Structure 1
Amino acid sequence: MSADHPSITLFRQEHQRLGGTGEIVILPDAVHTAALAAEALGCEVGAIANSLLFDADGSPVLILTSGSHRVDVPATAARIGVPTLKRAKPEFVRAHTGQVIGGVSPFAHPAPVPTYLDTWLERYDVIWAAAGHPAAVFSTTYEELQKLTGATAINVEADA
């Protein structure tokens, strides 16, 4: 599909290279939130894997979390052994992922980013995540997503 946005093309290539088996879907409109993605796909919001990039004192940290969860930032920072996690600014996100907020994929970044995977997502047979662009998503499983990303499983809620 030569009409794809360059970030979707890059994602497709990396997805294939890594052995991804899920379907890549280009939606008619951008879906910048888990709720919009779930509505467009006809699935539960919890089955959407949000790719949230945080700034850990200048270093990127990617947390793949269920769309039905909020990351408890102080608890998660302590669990992964960093002093602080701050919401990344759009320029930081683009510099470290090559993608824009709302379309950040779990992989296919210019350089590896330490990645953590919300254990809540294990309860879904099919998970949907961004495919490099706000209108592109792909299906996967928890196990495959962990394999594709090399992510460490983590509870992102308080009181773990």
Structure 2
Amino acid sequence: MEPAKKIKYDKRTGLVKAESYCAYQERSQQEVRSKLYDWGLWPNEVEEVISELIGNNFLNEERFARAYVSGKFSIKHWGKIKIKQGLKLKKITDKMISVALNTIDYDDYLETILKTAEKKLPFIKESDPYKRKYKLVTYLMGKGFESDLIIEVLKSNNLP
């Protein structure tokens, strides 16, 4: 059986497809760049298409970063550490990452840590209070929350 033929697009078709790809949801430049290479465009064509997408406001790194932060925090309940790692993987600049992370309200952030902890607690089957607390803190750190904030939230709410 022959391998599936890879479709190769010209620059114009690549631009049209990239516009609809970006219109569907916010994308990072890196995601679009990878997609354009997948479609067989040459490096100079890829950069021209990227420039055109930015010029026509189909591609906007800050808008992408803000949307990413908003979604991962409010829907997935991720902490800032995990969100930051995700943005770094998408090749977003540190400056843009900190601008986007600053859109998270501090009180909402602490409230999310608390709610996530309260939701997880009943599922931790451990009688030793120290091990129980350790498991809870480890879980919350895995969600990307900062250990000092976790400890502060647990202590101020009398959780294990």
TM-score (norm 2): 0.23
Higher relative contact order (CA 8 A, sep 6+): 1
TM-score (norm 1): 0.23
Query: Which of the pair has more CA radius of gyration?
Result: 2
Higher strand share: 1
Higher helix share: 2
